[in-house]
């Protein structure tokens, strides 16, 4: 990340608006945050350069493309040496069906989110992972029946300290 940027309320408002709609034109964004277009664009470029804005992308409605399943998988490794984690993490990145992978505390080591065409397709993927001999001791799969709530954005108030407060 380039140099640290101190965020003010306008910067935070810009981030929140862009998070909700990355296709906002600079003119509409400027109007929404109470700036003229040129200073607004300068702020956006500064936020991009500082790494606060990671990317702009389209969110695809997968259901329009056809049937698919989401599977959350708990993975426990055989051993817990640093090289075991490195090996697993390097290998799991190779699978396009893996949407998320988190090292977690608790009763297992990783929580992995897969998206696949079907249960059979997921089973092919997990069998391939197991055949790669990357240190998986056991895994438990949880197929999503219905998604009650999914959010593509995070309310910035959840991660930012209260105004005037410390982080």
CATH number (domain holding residue 20):
1.10.10.10
Cβ-contact 115, 56 below 8 angstroms: no
* Domain final residue pick, 58, 74, 98: 58
Cβ-contact 101, 92 below 8 angstroms: yes
- Residue 100 forms beta bridges with which residues? 113
pLDDT confidence of residue 153: 83
Packed helices 37-49 and 26-33: angle between N→C axes, nearest 10 degrees: 100
pLDDT confidence of residue 167: 47
Number of H helices and E strands in the chain, helices first, is 7, 4
- Are residues 73 and 138 located together in one domain of the fold? yes
The whole model's pTM is what? 0.83
pLDDT confidence of residue 3: 55
pLDDT confidence of residue 1: 44
- Are residues 83 and 130 located together in one domain of the fold? yes
Residue among 146, 66, 70 at smallest CA distance from 115? 70
Residue among 143, 164, 135 at smallest CA distance from 67? 143
pLDDT confidence of residue 77: 98
pLDDT confidence of residue 106: 94
Q: What percent of the chain has pLDDT over 90?
A: 83
Tell me, yes or no, whether 150 lies in a domain. no
- Are residues 81 and 48 located together in one domain of the fold? no
- Are residues 48 and 67 located together in one domain of the fold? no
pLDDT confidence of residue 33: 96
Residue among 121, 113, 32, 42 at smallest CA distance from 71? 113
pLDDT confidence of residue 154: 87
For residue 99, the enclosing domain spans 62-143
Instruction: Give the chain's residues under pLDDT 50.
Output: 1, 167
Q: 47 to each of 2, 8, 11, 132, 157, how far by Cα in Å?
A: 10, 11, 8, 41, 18
Number of domains in the chain: 2
Cβ-contact 109, 77 below 8 angstroms: yes
Tell me, yes or no, whether 29 lies in a domain. yes
């Amino acid at each position: 990340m380039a140099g640290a940027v101190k965020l003010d309320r306008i910067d935070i408002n810009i981030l929140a608006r862009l998070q909700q709609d990355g296709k906002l034109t600079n003119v509409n964004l400027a109007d929404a945050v109470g700036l003229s277009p040129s200073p607004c664009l300068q702020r956006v470029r500064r936020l991009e350069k500082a790494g606060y804005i990671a990317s702009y992308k389209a969110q695809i409605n997968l259901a329009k493309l056809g049937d698919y399943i989401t599977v959350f998988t708990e993975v426990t490794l055989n051993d817990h040496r640093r090289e075991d984690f490195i090996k697993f993490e390097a290998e799991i990145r190779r699978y396009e069906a893996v949407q998320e992978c988190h090292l977690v505390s608790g009763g297992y080591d990783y929580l992995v989110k897969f998206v696949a065409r079907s249960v059979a397709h997921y089973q092919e993927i997990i069998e391939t992972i197991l055949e790669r001999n990357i240190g998986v001791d056991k895994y438990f799969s949880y197929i999503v029946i219905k998604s009650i709530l999914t959010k593509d954005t995070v309310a910035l108030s959840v991660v930012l300290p209260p105004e005037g407060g410390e982080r």
